[in-house]
Structure 1
Amino acid sequence: MGPMPHPAAPPLTPPGTRPCALPSAVLFDMDGTLVDTEPSWFAAEAQLVADHGGSWTETDSLRLVGWGLEDAAAELRRAGVRLGVRAIVDELLTRVVAATRARTVHRAGARELVEALRARGVPLALVTSSEAPLAEVVIASLGGPGVFDVVVTGDLGHPAKPAPDPYLRAAAALSRHPAGPPDPARMLAVEDSRTGIRSATAAGLCTLAVPHLVPVDDAGAHHVLPTLAGVGPEDLGRLVARARP
């Protein structure tokens, strides 16, 4: 018997409800939100620490979910990895990029939602703490260059999440969209980690949490859904409307 299908999220729009305005833009986190790369990060971290004679557990990896890569690398140094921070980042990226290129696992409903938003003309941004080489692999799996109007990666020199800078940078870039600047009050960020949620909310964005490996109930998201399966553009518009009366 094959794997059981992921249950769809409960309907957000009751039958017969009048259509709701779509979000003016949607800003997606990547790792754990659009793609399930976390097992690859966990394996790369554990193997790198083991290569240097240290000890690393899944609990250690879970603690780093959503962190910037340089911050995570500093933790691996404290666990015994005898490399500089940049060398650790490069080693982790090399391993995770290879694993993701070999097999990209999308989170339930994520690819379908991105496609539906593009079809409706909603501007999209990718806002990730990962660096460009991994983002390029994921973007290719979702339709290739151009599927996101704005791409903000962790190697652009800004402070990492939970600082608001990644989302502020993406919002500023979206304001130059050819169709006109999206209404900031109707932008929506989609995240899976406490770190990412705090970054998006600190940037003033309505934020939807879709938890994956870590609980996020205390992180301050405006909405929490168990999955993106069955979620469409109108559903996201309704969530923004609820948070921004």
Structure 2
Amino acid sequence: MDGTIVDSEPYWMRAETELVESFGGVWTHDDGMLLVGAGLWGSASILQGRGVELDAEVIVQTLTDRVQELLQELGAPWRPGALEMLTALKGAGIPMALVTSSVERMARQVADFVGFPAFDAIVAGDMVANSKPHPEAYLSAAGRLRVDAGRCMAVEDSVPGIAAAVASGAVVLGVPHMVTLPESAHYDLWSTLSGRSLDGFTDLFGARRGSAALPLTVTDSE
């Protein structure tokens, strides 16, 4: 979601900066980059180390509140080609799950911004015991779609997210945004979704699995 469907990372960095500064600390862009792709509760631990004197749960909810406020105020900054691809996949009847480290209420807010019921399932960070790079969220999403994870394709923009998706057994497509994704035999890389077609997805899946693409799981970096 964050960084794959919507360019919400700047909103997260703004929320982090405001929170750290409210406790008299300093939070830089480089600091924010350390949290890209990290689970929210792991990020809370890092923020506590920077002087934020709040419980991890309070930090997660405070950051989420602020990012949701910014989304409501400024809108959802869609990543290039994301809405077009969601529309094409939905039109083709391909089931989709939204897999994100953000909490469920924010995931549902972004899903509502899409403008049509794109997702057949949502698996958020507060719905699993293990955050990325653990594959639990992807395996849960496949279960909710009632398919084996190996018959899914996951779209990711972060290193922890890609690690989680690969570990689940899904076909994985990396679309880098805030961080560089290294080339690997375990997944494919596209520089952008802009200008890409549904045929490109099915071709990629077919090259990895030798059959037409079926369910797709779409995910985030936060």
TM-score scaled by length of structure 1: 0.82
Shift of 1:34: 0.2
Q: CA deviation at 1:71?
A: 0.6
Q: Distance in 2 between matches of 1:87 and 1:220?
A: 40
Could you say which residue in structure 1 is the equivalent of 2:219?
A: none
What amino acid is the match of 2:204? L
Q: Which residue of 1 aligns with 2:126?
A: 155
Matched, 1:234 2:199: yes
Task: Report the more deviating stretch, 123-132 or 52-61.
Answer: 52-61
Equivalent residue, structure 2, for 1:200: 165
Runs of 4 or more off by more than 4 Å in structure 1?
A: 218-221
Note the C-alpha offset of 1:143: 2.1
Q: Which runs of 5+ in 2 are unaligned?
A: 211-222
Task: Answer yes or no: is 1:72 the counterpart of 2:37.
Answer: no
Normalising by structure 2, we get a TM-score of 0.90
Does the Cα contact within 8 Å between 1:208 and 1:221 map onto a contact in 2? Answer: no
Query: Contact (CA 8 Å) 2:128, 2:137: kept in 1 or not?
Result: no
Q: Which residue of 1 aligns with 2:27?
A: 56
Q: Counterparts of 2:158 and 2:35 in 1: how far apart (Å)?
A: 10
Distance 2:31 2:185 in 1: 23
Deviations 1:84-132 (A, max 9, x none): 1011111100100011122110000000100110000001010000012
Kindly tell me the number of residue pairs found equivalent between the two proteins. Answer: 209
**Given the alignment of the two structures, is residue 142 of structure 1 paired with residue 110 of structure 2, yes or no?**
no
Q: C-alpha separation between the residues in 2 aligned to 1:85 and 1:133?
A: 18
Alpha-carbon separation, structure 2, partners of 1:221 and 1:44: 34
Offset of residue 243 of structure 1: 1.9
Q: Any conservation in 1 of the 2:128–2:136 contact (CA below 8 Å)?
A: no
> Superposed, which structure 2 residues align to 1:1-245 within 5 Å?
30-102=1-73, 103-144=75-116, 146-175=117-146, 181=147, 184-217=149-182, 221-245=186-210
Distance 1:45 1:219 in 2: 32
Question: Residue 190 of structure 1 contacts residue 209 of structure 1 at CA under 8 Å; is this kept in 2?
Answer: yes
The DSSP-based 3-state class of the residue aligned with 2:15 is helix
Q: What SS class does the counterpart of residue 34 from structure 1 fall into? A: coil
CA RMSD of aligned residues (A): 1.4
- In 2, distance between residues paired with 1:136 and 1:101? 13
Structure with higher Rg: it is 1
Taking only the aligned residue pairs, the percentage that are identical comes to 41
* Runs (5+) with no aligned partner, structure 1: 1-29, 176-180
Other-structure match for 2:218? none
CA distance in 1, matches of 2:29, 2:204: 34
Q: What are the superposed Cα offsets for residues 10-33 of structure 1, whole Å, 9 maximum, x if unpaired?
A: xxxxxxxxxxxxxxxxxxxx0000
SS at match of 1:155: helix
- Give the SS at the match of 1:104: coil
SS for the counterpart of 2:154 is: strand
